[in-house]
Amino acid sequence: MSTAVTQEQIEQVVIESLQTFGADPEEIRPDVTFEALDIDSLDLAELSQIVHEQFGVELKGSDVAEIKTVDDAVRLIASRA
Amino acid sequence: MEPVVVTGVGAVTPLGVGARALHERWSGGVCGISDGEGPCAEFDAGDFLSTKEARRTDRFTQLAIAACAEALEDAGWREELPYDAVRVGCVLGTGIGGITTLVDGQDTLRERGHEFVSPLSVPLMMSNAGAAALSMRHGLRGPTLAVSTACASGAHALGCALRMLQNGEADAVLAGGSEASLTPLARAAFSALDALSDSGVSRPFDARRDGFVMGEGAGVLVLERREAALQRGARLLGTIRGYGASSDAHHLTAPREDGEGQAAAMLAALADAGAGAADIDYVNAHGTSTPLNDRAETHAIKLALGEHARSIPVSSTKSAIGHLLGAAGAVEAVATLLALRDRIAPPTLGLTEPDEGLDLDYVPGAARPLKPAGESPPLALSNSFGFGGHNAVLCLEAA
């Protein structure tokens, strides 16, 4: 999509979203798992909507099932943005 | 059949957070209604829920969580369940469910498009969301379900929980009702039915009554089999002596004018309790402040209790908190049990000019001491009737 989108912007949106979902800001790091952050499939469904709106990236259920960490999510979104 | 006892109660109502606030303020003549509605103004979800939990719950579920937390504390349930988790159930009534979530989803759909409707919409709005939340929060792995019979939901939920315990399906059940529908849609919809009070005053049985005042809240009770409760050293608040239910099979919103359907439920509750009309010391009326209900219910009380109806106090909790719809039956059961415990007949507030033919002792204006006729603990009926002609009556006894 937009060539102006950077990995940092994506990371920022993902981190802000996770905080909105109730994850502890101090525990959010690239390598931390969603499970450790108590982020579940419903949160990831919300995240999919947010990245679609912000970056025009579509994440399907099968994509979401594959991502386990914050970094996984950022990389996947960046690869499609 | 083994008695089923109440070991803990919790409530969030327009009179405050806590069953005690409900009981003491109502008995003290305080009215929780302002500007024609009964909001739970003192309730702050942040006191009970994490950010994540708050996002995952509609307000009706949040109110239930708070009422349940109080009930469990009151029952002395601490960290661990006192029973095997698969033997603890939950039955929660709601008339409407997550209407705020529903409306928000509809607004998003209209304004932004279907791809923006939240994935949390269904899990928050579904009528069983409250029961599911209590089950997950407290690790209840026995039967958990929602009951929805409009304004009789809370009482039906307690009846259903009673049967669950009597049938041996559970050793304990958390039961109650919850409602949070103070929304423009619900206001408009009830107004269109001419059910809401134009004056914004809840004055059951009064000649000037002009409809119900909508309130919100939740009530939860911890029900246990008596022997098991005693064995774990529980303090008993009271006994659910009986439950009766019937249907008017008459009209979608109006009760039978003769009160026969409602009386049938009252008689069924008495029979279930093994009690007679003369054993009843108090009636907690459905008492909505609508012209139709209060007249039909007065007929029903006379039909069910005969001449005895004229010798006992009858009052309406809705005069102090408005109509909590699907939570009403549960909140009123809590209020009734605490009133029986303290031997108080709480008042029907705002009643100064009883309507013609409405000639029972409605305890107008101020509470009075309750004087049981016999030696045994005081016994009461608590009435709940819902749109659709659903009637549910509980027979409650103080410990």
Which residue in A21, A49, A53 is closest to B55 by CB distance?
A: A21
B353 DSSP 8-state letter: S
Closest-CA residue of B relative to A38 is: B52
Count Cβ–Cβ pairs < 8 Å, chain A vs chain B. 23
Q: Is B167 helix (H, G, I), strand (E, B) or coil?
A: coil
Neighbours of B72 (CB within 10 A): 21
Ordered structural domains, chain A, with CATH: 7-80 (1.10.1200.10)
Contacts of B119 in chain A (CB under 8 A): 42, 45-46, 49
B50–A contact, CB cutoff 8 A: yes
B371–A contact, CB cutoff 8 A: no
Distance from CA of A5 to the nearest CA of B (A): 21
B51–A contact, CB cutoff 8 A: yes
Does the beta-carbon distance from A21 to B118 stay under 8 Å?
no
Over the stretch A42-79, which tens digit does the pLDDT of each residue have? 999 999 999 999 999 999 888 888 899 999 999 999 99
Annotated catalytic residue within B23, B138, B286, B299? B286
Annotated catalytic residue within B40, B151, B160, B395? B151
Contacts of A20 in chain B (CB under 8 A): 55
Beta bridge partners of B284: B315, B382
Radius of gyration of chain B (CA): 20
Phi, psi (rounded to 5 degrees) for B382: -120, 115
Best to test chain A binding among B52, B114, B117, B118 (most A CBs inside 10 Å): B52
Element (H, E) at B92: strand B88-93
Burial label, B236 (beta-carbon count in 10 A; 0-12, 13-18, 19+): middle
Contacts of B120 in chain A (CB under 8 A): 42, 46
Annotated catalytic residue within B90, B323, B390, B395? B323
Does the beta-carbon distance from A22 to B115 stay under 8 Å?
no
The ipTM of this complex is 0.90
Bridge pairing between strands B379-386 and B390-398 = antiparallel
Retrieve residue B80's tokens. Answer: 């661990």
Per-residue pLDDT at A3 = 59
Per-residue pLDDT at B57 = 98
Distance from CA of B181 to the nearest CA of A (A): 25
Q: Concatenate the DSSP letters of all residues of B270-332 into one string.
A: HHHHT--GGG--EEE----S-HHHHHHHHHHHHHHHGGGGGGSBEE-THHHH-B-GGGHHHHH
Bridge pairing between strands B4-13 and B16-17 = antiparallel
Distances in whole angstroms, Cα of residue A77 to Cα of each of A33, B253, B385: 16, 53, 54
Q: Is B34 helix (H, G, I), strand (E, B) or coil?
A: strand
Per-residue pLDDT at A64 = 87
Does the beta-carbon distance from A42 to B51 stay under 8 Å?
no
B35–A contact, CB cutoff 8 A: no
Angle between helices A41-55 and A7-20 (to 10 degrees): 140
Q: Determine whether domain B241-398 maps to CATH 3.40.630.40.
A: no
Contacts of A46 in chain B (CB under 8 A): 118-120
Closest-CA residue of B relative to A44 is: B119
CATH code 3.40.47.10 region(s) in chain B: 4-231, 241-398
CATH annotation of B4-231: 3.40.47.10
Distance from CA of A4 to the nearest CA of B (A): 24
Best to test chain B binding among A18, A21, A26 (most B CBs inside 10 Å): A21
Would the pTM of this model clear 0.90, i.e. be above it? yes
pLDDT by residue, tens only, chain B of 399 residues: 889 999 999 999 999 999 999 999 999 999 999 999 999 999 999 999 999 999 999 999 999 999 999 999 999 998 899 999 999 999 999 999 999 999 999 999 999 999 999 999 999 999 999 999 999 999 999 999 999 999 999 999 999 999 999 999 999 999 999 999 999 999 999 999 999 999 999 999 999 999 999 999 999 999 999 999 999 999 999 999 999 999 999 999 999 999 999 999 999 999 999 999 999 999 999 999 999 999 999 999 999 999 999 999 999 999 999 999 999 999 999 999 999 999 999 999 999 999 999 999 999 999 999 998 888 999 999 999 999 999 999 999 999
Does the beta-carbon distance from A49 to B56 stay under 8 Å?
no
